[in-house]
Amino acid sequence: MILSEVVLGADGMSAENKIASHEIVYDREKNRIYITAVGDWDIEQSDAFLRDYREAVARTRPGFTVLSDVRAFKCSAEDVQQNHAKAIKMDADAGVKRVARVVGSTPLAGFQIKRISRAVENYESENFATLEEAESYLDSDDV
């Protein structure tokens, strides 16, 4: 039984191996999408992410959660922000329950994404300093 599957990582490489990259993993058991975003994305990187993310969201069930690690992600240009908004709309349309962003000690990019999510869809999302805090938030039943 496969509990998780790597959906895609732009060119199949893990996020740690590239300067500007993404990795998306869907955990079927938890019904959770894990995103790692790294670097300063241009529109091509952002478009690749959106294609891969659409595939991951298609695998979810309503009530899914998202853990997005943006500790190494840079703030985005306007065209990339528009793709963030499209991903957020995909989440809402598919029935996302909660989103947790791991922003670490330099949370600017995480706050940018949170601002976009509030403007597009007002679903529950929070920023956290660590992966453990984010997992705990998503695993809790307190809504």
DSSP labels, 51-74: HHHHHHHHH--TT-EEEEEEEEEP
Q: How many domains does the chain have?
A: 1
pTM of the model: 0.79
Residue 67: inside a domain, yes or no? no
Low-confidence ranges of the chain (pLDDT < 70): 1-18, 75-76, 106-123, 142-143
Residue 70: inside a domain, yes or no? no
At residue 8, the pLDDT reads: 42
- Residue 97's domain comprises 4-62+75-139
At residue 69, the pLDDT reads: 93
pLDDT digits (tens, 9 = 90+) for 51-92: 999 999 999 999 999 999 988 887 667 788 888 889 989 999
